[in-house]
Chains A and B, each alone.
Chain A
Amino acid sequence: MTPTRLAVPKTYKLYIGGAFPRSESGRTYEVAARDGSFLANAAKASRKDARDAVVAARKAQSGWAGATGYNRGQVLYRIAELLEGRRAQFVDELRRSEGLTDAQANAQVDSAIDVWVWYAGWADKYLQVAGNGNPVAGPYFNISTPEPTGVVAVIAPQESSLLGLVSVVAPALVTGNTVVVVPSEQAPLSAISLGEVLATSDVPGGVVNVLTGSPAELAPWLAAHADVNALDLTGAGDLDWVDLQITAADTLKRVLPPEPGVPAPSVDRITFFTETKTVWHPKGII
């Protein structure tokens, strides 16, 4: 009997500001397969990690928002290309952590890539759909355009660890927001692998930050953080989300309440994390 080669398992860490740190708290938690067997020790993000992630997201925001829509669209499309290339890894992680069949795992990866491509294409079109030239009653040029809200904290769907994640992260990114996302607690592996894809792409560090750990522990800090502009509670249905919304009211965050399952791709998810700016300028009388 020939000895089988001993595998080299991956250390799953956080993804903050383009780097992969361990939690500053030193905490990890055990991620198990559906059958209970050991998969990995994921980093259990702390309050300090959450703050670091918000700082990184804030730092990256103006640059990401300042890129042209065409450029953001291409950078995001590139993610879909890389996801396709690393399909086997994602399928494998989904099979193990969500207990999916090969076909189910492949279907989820397909959908995640297609959703990503769909949103990426909006980057240089959304403004035309949501903006407006306004016929004011006077000699003024007047135009309304949507702009990114800023830093968006997201509690991702807890069941669908890749498609759910992509379905909440991509729409916030398209317009130039930066994101701090808390992925599925039980199945965080694909989120960190997505972080690796982002890190090796042209998405600047800090644009997406991934905090694995306990949503119940992390969400209140993100909801209260004064430098977070919006809170997406899509995956927070099992948390005390009304309290989170009340906390978020102190800094008047825009709050998207929980939604069961995976949110369908829609323009309203893009709209929700934008602000309409209206600019006036006099027209000369000629």
Chain B
Amino acid sequence: MNFLDYAPAPESRSILNLKPTYGLFIGGEFVDGHGTPFTTISPADESAIAEIAHANEHDVELAVTAARRAYDSVWSRMSGADRGKYLFRIARLIQERSRELAVAESLDNGKPIKEARDVDVPLVAAWFFYYAGWADKLDYAGLGPAPKSLGVAAQVIPWNFPLLMLAWKIAPALASGNTVVLKPAETTPLSALIFAEILQQADLPPGVVNIITGAGETGQALVNHPDVDKVAFTGSTAVGRAIARSTAGTGKKLTLELGGKAANIVFDDAPLDQAIEGIVNGIFFNQGHVCCAGSRLLVQENIHDEVLDRLKQRLSTLRLGDPLDKNTDIGAINSQEQLDRIKQLTAVGEQEGADRWTADCVIPDRGFWFAPTIFTNVATSHRIAREEIFGPVLSVLTFRTPAEAIAKANNTPYGLSAGVWSEKGSRILGVADKLRAGVVWANTFNRFDPSSPFGGYKESGYGREGGRHGLAAYLNPAGTPARSAVTAGKPSPVTVKSTDTPVIEGMKPSSPRKTTRAKTKKATTKGATK
């Protein structure tokens, strides 16, 4: 027995009170769906967890109608203080049921219970707590006095952080006074449905939040529903593009949080102990199923060998296995489909000439697994340096000068996050200034907080989630015409009017906009929403 051998310490599943089947959560009740139900499985052993209803277009209609009714009759009329109280209730209920939510998340997603318990669920509660307090303080959100809610928000979220992404979407939407129809990812609906039970316990008015489960076409029907005023999507850049196309000209306010290929830059004066931990956390946290993962390690040439040796040593101590085991560091890959994609891209990495190293660990017989992998000798033109792998795979490149590091870091159509490691403050600030990324972690990585805005540059999407900035995605300034009466509703019409702006003769200050121009040539949302 060596120091890596631990007795198993599995978290008990008995805390879960799962139903064999789950309906759609529409108008405050669980109802049957009109599509063919599907089974959600545990990616760790492919066992069935529960049967989940599948929402078709008819169900989308019902959900949007319920959300609209709740918006018109209850939620848009309620005081901010009362909306806030509901959100506080929800935050507390999440804390009370946190163990149960963590187990459900780990079971359905495959992530280590350690992460679900210590990162995902605490952040979920924090997110509701943070935005609860905003609900009666929206005058201070930076949009001028008395900003207006938008109406019904359609939200489509991914499978990598199922409950956390739900919180990122629902908390600011409700605080701002919108009602919600949310579609969780097909492979990870479970925690959202337990969350629906929490909404019932919180006595949230029916229809304020509706949760409909299904696959890509359900999400597509939802974002394209004409009575939706706001679309928020987190997922792949391909689907994000399709949504941007299909919402063009509709006046729906759109925020997109899409893919990334973050550079994690390590200078030779970096605090190496912390940097090694940061690199590991940056790409192997949540099996690398993280849009902001530090998937491109840019290491200064003179410390390349040392960093790689230490990295391999560290990775050899990571324990891969049962996600519900409290000792587990690397859980299961979320789905067969994702595993195939990781295998395909890593095969391409080898074909293109990069050197592959894979941690020596036992892979369980059943379920979807991928051992932590590092590619060295990677060129910027390689696909593993350009495309998002979304798995526990690190591509290592080198640089000599800060300018070269910055050029390589920015050499991507993405711009979600980046990391910088150096003990020199001026270098950190100088490099951080030049990185074209929405979040820069300096001497740390993968930190999240409800008060901290998150979102990308370039093809990583637009809009911010979190913080004061996150409210702008769900509010319009007072005086903004309703969507039904605008051309295309400026995506972010933050008209901060001041009496001191120049008075322009003959200028129409708040000119009435033309009516919505719906396109007869309907753009289609291609590809599955993930």
The reply to whether the CB of B507 lies closer than 8 angstroms to some CB of chain A is yes
> What is the CA–CA distance of A48 and B459 in the complex, to the nearest angstrom?
25
Which residues 458-480 of B sit at the A interface, judged by CB distance below 8 A? 458-459, 461-462, 464, 467-469, 477
Q: Are A278 and B451 in contact (CB under 8 A)?
A: no
The reply to whether the CB of A8 lies closer than 8 angstroms to some CB of chain B is no
Please give me the residue from chain A that is nearest to B432 by CB atom. A279
Which residues 27-77 of B sit at the A interface, judged by CB distance below 8 A? none
Which residues 483-515 of B sit at the A interface, judged by CB distance below 8 A? 487-497, 501-502, 504-514
The reply to whether the CB of B373 lies closer than 8 angstroms to some CB of chain A is no
Q: Are B523 and A246 in contact (CB under 8 A)?
A: yes
The reply to whether the CB of B427 lies closer than 8 angstroms to some CB of chain A is no
> What is the CA–CA distance of A275 and B464 in the complex, to the nearest angstrom?
9
B88 to A: closest C-beta gap in Å: 17
Tier of interface size on chain A: 35 or more
> What is the CA–CA distance of A143 and B43 in the complex, to the nearest angstrom?
38
The reply to whether the CB of B452 lies closer than 8 angstroms to some CB of chain A is yes
Interface segment out of the listed B149-157, B168-176, B203-211, B439-447: B439-447
> What is the CA–CA distance of A260 and B508 in the complex, to the nearest angstrom?
9
Q: A134-B453, A136-B447, A278-B453 are in contact. Are A266 and B495 (CB under 8 A)?
A: yes
Which residues 197-242 of B sit at the A interface, judged by CB distance below 8 A? 237, 240-241
The contact of A277 among B142, B439, B458, by CB within 8 Å, is B439
User: Max chain B CB contacts within 10 Å: which of A132, A150, A256, A281?
Assistant: A281
The reply to whether the CB of A35 lies closer than 8 angstroms to some CB of chain B is no
Q: Are A137 and B438 in contact (CB under 8 A)?
A: no
The reply to whether the CB of A56 lies closer than 8 angstroms to some CB of chain B is no
> What is the CA–CA distance of A256 and B468 in the complex, to the nearest angstrom?
22
Q: Are B509 and A132 in contact (CB under 8 A)?
A: no
| Cβ contacts under 8 Å, A237 to chain B | 487, 514
Interface segment out of the listed B3-11, B243-251, B305-313: B243-251
A105-145 interface code vs B (CB 8 A; 1 in, 0 out): 00110110011011000000000011010111110101010
Q: Are A107 and B443 in contact (CB under 8 A)?
A: no
| Cβ contacts under 8 Å, A107 to chain B | 505-506
| Cβ contacts under 8 Å, A117 to chain B | 502
The reply to whether the CB of B449 lies closer than 8 angstroms to some CB of chain A is yes
Q: Are A264 and B497 in contact (CB under 8 A)?
A: yes
| Cβ contacts under 8 Å, A265 to chain B | 501-502, 504
The contact of A276 among B447, B453, B490, B491, by CB within 8 Å, is B453
The reply to whether the CB of B517 lies closer than 8 angstroms to some CB of chain A is yes
Which residues 354-412 of B sit at the A interface, judged by CB distance below 8 A? none
The reply to whether the CB of A251 lies closer than 8 angstroms to some CB of chain B is yes
The contact of B458 among A136, A140, A252, A279, by CB within 8 Å, is A252
- Contacts across chains A and B counted by CB atoms under 8 Å: 191
> What is the CA–CA distance of A193 and B295 in the complex, to the nearest angstrom?
49
A258-279 interface code vs B (CB 8 A; 1 in, 0 out): 1111101111100110011111
The reply to whether the CB of B258 lies closer than 8 angstroms to some CB of chain A is yes
Q: A138-B449, A246-B248 are in contact. Are A278 and B497 (CB under 8 A)?
A: no
The reply to whether the CB of A255 lies closer than 8 angstroms to some CB of chain B is yes
Please give me the residue from chain A that is nearest to B505 by CB atom. A107
> What is the CA–CA distance of A251 and B459 in the complex, to the nearest angstrom?
6
> What is the CA–CA distance of A268 and B440 in the complex, to the nearest angstrom?
25
Q: Are B496 and A267 in contact (CB under 8 A)?
A: yes
Please give me the residue from chain A that is nearest to B447 by CB atom. A280
Q: Are B507 and A255 in contact (CB under 8 A)?
A: no
B292 to A: closest C-beta gap in Å: 11
Q: A261-B511, A268-B494 are in contact. Are A252 and B501 (CB under 8 A)?
A: no
Which residues 78-130 of B sit at the A interface, judged by CB distance below 8 A? 126
> What is the CA–CA distance of A241 and B517 in the complex, to the nearest angstrom?
10
Q: Are B467 and A144 in contact (CB under 8 A)?
A: yes
The reply to whether the CB of A3 lies closer than 8 angstroms to some CB of chain B is no
The reply to whether the CB of B428 lies closer than 8 angstroms to some CB of chain A is yes
The contact of B256 among A150, A252, A281, by CB within 8 Å, is A252
Q: A107-B506, A279-B442, A281-B428 are in contact. Are A252 and B449 (CB under 8 A)?
A: no
Q: Are B496 and A262 in contact (CB under 8 A)?
A: no
The reply to whether the CB of A254 lies closer than 8 angstroms to some CB of chain B is yes
Q: Are B439 and A114 in contact (CB under 8 A)?
A: no
The reply to whether the CB of A102 lies closer than 8 angstroms to some CB of chain B is no
A173 to B: closest C-beta gap in Å: 17
Q: Are A276 and B469 in contact (CB under 8 A)?
A: yes
B431 to A: closest C-beta gap in Å: 10
Q: Are A280 and B442 in contact (CB under 8 A)?
A: yes
The contact of A132 among B467, B501, B507, B517, by CB within 8 Å, is B467
Please give me the residue from chain A that is nearest to B517 by CB atom. A242
The reply to whether the CB of B455 lies closer than 8 angstroms to some CB of chain A is yes
Please give me the residue from chain A that is nearest to B507 by CB atom. A262
Q: Are A262 and B492 in contact (CB under 8 A)?
A: no
> What is the CA–CA distance of A55 and B467 in the complex, to the nearest angstrom?
36
The reply to whether the CB of B454 lies closer than 8 angstroms to some CB of chain A is yes
The reply to whether the CB of B165 lies closer than 8 angstroms to some CB of chain A is no
B248 to A: closest C-beta gap in Å: 4
The reply to whether the CB of B134 lies closer than 8 angstroms to some CB of chain A is no
Please give me the residue from chain A that is nearest to B143 by CB atom. A268
Please give me the residue from chain A that is nearest to B461 by CB atom. A252
The reply to whether the CB of A163 lies closer than 8 angstroms to some CB of chain B is yes
> What is the CA–CA distance of A115 and B258 in the complex, to the nearest angstrom?
36
Please give me the residue from chain B that is nearest to A230 by CB atom. B462
| Cβ contacts under 8 Å, A114 to chain B | 502, 504
> What is the CA–CA distance of A258 and B248 in the complex, to the nearest angstrom?
12
A172 to B: closest C-beta gap in Å: 14
The reply to whether the CB of A84 lies closer than 8 angstroms to some CB of chain B is no
> What is the CA–CA distance of A1 and B457 in the complex, to the nearest angstrom?
68
> What is the CA–CA distance of A15 and B514 in the complex, to the nearest angstrom?
33
A277 to B: closest C-beta gap in Å: 6
A236-254 interface code vs B (CB 8 A; 1 in, 0 out): 0100011101101111101
> What is the CA–CA distance of A251 and B413 in the complex, to the nearest angstrom?
9
> What is the CA–CA distance of A243 and B508 in the complex, to the nearest angstrom?
27
User: Max chain A CB contacts within 10 Å: which of B237, B437, B467?
Assistant: B467
Q: Are A264 and B439 in contact (CB under 8 A)?
A: no
The contact of B487 among A115, A250, A258, A266, by CB within 8 Å, is A258
* 29 contacts across the A-B interface (CB closer than 8 A): A110-B505, A111-B504, A115-B502, A117-B502, A118-B501, A134-B451, A134-B453, A136-B451, A138-B447, A163-B504, A246-B245, A246-B249, A246-B519, A249-B241, A249-B244, A252-B459, A255-B491, A257-B487, A257-B489, A260-B511, A266-B497, A275-B415, A275-B457, A276-B453, A277-B438, A278-B453, A279-B440, A280-B440, A280-B444
New A-B contacts (5) at CB < 8 Å, excluding given A252-B461, A280-B440, A281-B428: A114-B504, A118-B501, A252-B241, A252-B244, A276-B455
4 tightest A-B contacts by CB?
A242-B249, A249-B244, A268-B494, A257-B488
